[in-house]
Structure 1
């Protein structure tokens, strides 16, 4: 009889540990999928240069620049233009590119002009986040 108690105790401990691990994994997944937004300043960006934000499961990327000047918004696998996901969205002063929210990407804004321009970006991410 005394040998049965340690087995039951170790099974109970294993079950509690497994349940706790699954619960924590579920919470981590839920918080990662929640809707949110992130903005980042780029300062004065030289012509044809990109400015990435933090990586998220993107829903949209918005670029803001000087009124009357072109801006680009997009997403990248690694934060550079060389690994662009899909295409650039083009606009004057402000533009936005929407995504299906399923890929972990870097939001990227670009100054497509030949001279410097002060820019900033805004991304939305996660389940239920507003798109463009």
Structure 2
């Protein structure tokens, strides 16, 4: 059986960091792991436990960076979307950015170009920054 490619979108956010830590604890690691970040660069304390993993800078508003994932990491088998703008005031100040992040059409459009099916899991939390 081939190794699965898992991509965590929003890996440096509250939920994404916890998910990546969970992946780091899994035994045998039958998967290759990558994650995206946008407003926060990955801190070394996040990178050390999940090594080897690949961080990618992605802008969900424009979709910039998604093609780099395909070209470098390959087509993910599983995408777990944890990206969010969770601060209500920030969403009110920039509704276009909030919509593009919380309803990531650029991610779905990117996935529509895949040769084979991939699983998209969208997670959310009521935890605000």
Same fold (TM over 0.5): no
Higher strand share goes to which structure?
A: 1
Higher helix share goes to which structure?
A: 2
The structure whose RCO (Cα within 8 Å, separation 6+) is larger is: 1
The structure number with the bigger radius of gyration is: 1
Q: Given the two structures, how large is their TM-score scaled by the length of structure 2?
A: 0.28
